[in-house]
Amino acid sequence: MRQEAEPGPRVVRTEQEWRSELSPAEYAVLREAATERPYTGEYTDTETEGVYECRACGAELFRSTTKFHSHCGWPSFYDPAASEAVLLREDNSLGMRRVEVLCAACHSHLGHVFEGEGYQTPTDQRYCINSIALRLSPTDGSDS
């Protein structure tokens, strides 16, 4: 997994602006890197076709075509919508070595990415993303 130098966010708001635009739960996850409880998120088992956008800034992050059932308790994707859609940052918090996933546009926390877990996906990666960090924009004509 390649991590690159982190450019500054394209979407910039003050912390007060973020607090006024996001619910307390959204703010905790997106701006303070909290994690929603497993199996409680809106999109954990969703199969609706569409585009998953950043709930904070609306940037396209993932597509339903790369979503898969990992049974981990959070929505899982094997690849972002575009290589520049997300940033990867080393995360050594909680006594673990992980890779944090951030929205490249606004640097909001989305979740973590793992690899080598044996899922039968084209990338052997699992982008484990908090539902509350996403907003699904269904493809026209799809069922919700």
Residue 102's domain spans which residues?
Answer: 37-138
| Domains of the chain: total | 1
CATH number at residue 120: 2.170.150.20
* Phi/psi at 61 (5° precision): -115, -50
Whether residue 80 lies inside any domain: the answer is yes
Mean pLDDT for 93-104 is 90
pLDDT at res. 140? 74
List Cβ neighbours of 40 (8 Å cut-off, separation of 6 or more). Answer: 131
Q: One of 57, 103, 106, 128 is an active-site residue; which one?
A: 128
Res. 85: pLDDT tops 90: yes
Whether residue 9 lies inside any domain: the answer is no
Q: Is there a contact between 129 and 30 (Cβ–Cβ < 8 Å)?
A: no
The per-residue pLDDT for range 6-20, each reduced to its tens digit, is 678 888 899 999 999
Amino acid in the structure at residue 41? G
- Confidence band of 142 (pLDDT split at 50, 70, 90): very low
Whether residue 23 lies inside any domain: the answer is no
**Sign (positive or negative) of CA dihedral 2, 31, 114, 131:** negative
CB atoms within 10 A of CB 134: 24
Whether residue 24 lies inside any domain: the answer is no
Distance of alpha carbon 65 from alpha carbon 16, whole angstroms: 35
Q: Is there a contact between 79 and 125 (Cβ–Cβ < 8 Å)?
A: yes
pLDDT at res. 11? 85
pLDDT at res. 93? 84
Catalytic annotation present for 54: no
Nearest to 67 by CA among 144, 136, 140: 136
pTM: 0.88
Whether residue 86 lies inside any domain: the answer is yes
